[in-house]
């Protein structure tokens, strides 16, 4: 395990604590037009929460908008970068990505490259088992590695691949021979897991898809 090179700390009150501000290398305030904020709240509260129009507008005018004006908007003064139009501003997002990448290169954060090259030419440890390469796994990798693969298809094929990983891992468990009697009174020879308990550890940085596959 190794720490992340970039840690994103987000929240509407992210700039409130002065101690937190001192630890941030770059402070970004993502702003959105007031009309869009109101439209999003109306759509969410009416369609998803079953609220009526008058109730949503009353809460927005009496609580949400004043709170934003009094507590959130003044914190923009602490921001190094203010991004208008939110996630639709692809130019600003690209500039931020380039700046972060430039800072990582300047500070020498090339940990992944070092890890990838540290064991070149050395055999894998005996505790590491690779999923056998088959036409099925190669096909799944083709979809996953294709940058043009749609998001829903990427998730679908990732879950299929992880399911194969879980099945392969279960096959490495110790098994013992057992003989059971079928309802037809015919003995049947099979296998039973020799482990009483199985513990699965999901590392939620790239392993979230393993959760459903291991159930």
Q: Please tell me whether residues 96 and 141 are part of one structural domain.
A: no
Burial class of residue 162 in the structure, from the number of CB atoms within 10 Å of its CB (0-12 exposed, 13-18 middle, 19+ buried): buried
Q: Which residues does the chain have with pLDDT short of 70?
A: 1-4, 109-112, 202-215
Q: Please tell me whether residues 72 and 163 are part of one structural domain.
A: no
Which sign does the torsion angle of CA 159, 161, 165, 168 carry?
positive
Residue 161 CB partners (closer than 8 Å, separation 6+):
137, 140, 141, 144
Q: Please tell me whether residues 146 and 105 are part of one structural domain.
A: no
Q: How is residue 132 written in tokens?
A: 């056998």
Q: What is the CATH number of the domain that holds 187?
A: 3.40.50.2020
| 3-state SS, residue 144 | helix
pLDDT 10s digits, 162-214: 999 999 988 888 889 999 888 888 899 988 888 888 887 766 655 555 556 55
Q: What is the CATH number of the domain that holds 79?
A: 3.40.50.300
Look at residue 154 and tell me if it is in a domain: yes
Alpha-carbon span 175 to 137, nearest angstrom:
26
Distances (CA, A) of 171 to 113, 162, 167, 200: 32, 14, 6, 14
Q: Please tell me whether residues 75 and 164 are part of one structural domain.
A: no
Look at residue 42 and tell me if it is in a domain: yes
Look at residue 123 and tell me if it is in a domain: no
Look at residue 58 and tell me if it is in a domain: yes
Domain count, the chain: 2
Alpha-carbon span 161 to 140, nearest angstrom:
7
Alpha-carbon span 60 to 38, nearest angstrom:
8
Helices 135-145 and 151-171, axial angle in degrees (round to 10) = 140
The pLDDT value recorded for residue 1 is: 47
Look at residue 126 and tell me if it is in a domain: no
Q: Please tell me whether residues 142 and 112 are part of one structural domain.
A: no
Q: Please tell me whether residues 163 and 95 are part of one structural domain.
A: no
């Amino acid at each position: 395990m190794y720490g992340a090179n970039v840690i994103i700390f987000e929240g509407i009150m992210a700039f409130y604590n002065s101690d937190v501000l001192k630890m941030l290398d770059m402070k970004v305030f993502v702003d959105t037009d007031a009309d869009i904020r109101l439209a999003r709240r109306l759509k969410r509260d009416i369609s998803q929460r079953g609220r009526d129009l008058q109730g949503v507008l009353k809460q927005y005018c009496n609580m949400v908008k004043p709170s934003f004006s009094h507590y959130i908007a003044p914190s923009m003064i602490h921001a190094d970068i203010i991004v208008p139009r939110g996630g639709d501003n692809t130019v600003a997002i690209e500039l931020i990505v380039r700046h972060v990448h430039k800072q990582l290169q300047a500070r020498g954060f090339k940990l992944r490259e070092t890890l990838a090259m540290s064991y070149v030419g050395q055999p894998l440890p005996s505790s590491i088992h690779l999923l056998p390469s088959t036409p099925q796994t190669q096909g799944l990798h083709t979809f996953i590695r294709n940058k043009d693969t749609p998001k829903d298809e990427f998730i679908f094929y990732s879950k299929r691949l992880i399911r194969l990983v879980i099945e392969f891992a279960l096959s490495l468990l110790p098994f013992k021979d057992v003989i059971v009697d079928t309802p037809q009174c015919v003995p049947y020879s099979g296998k039973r897991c020799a482990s009483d308990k199985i513990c699965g550890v999901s590392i939620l940085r790239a392993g979230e898809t393993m959760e459903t596959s291991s159930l």
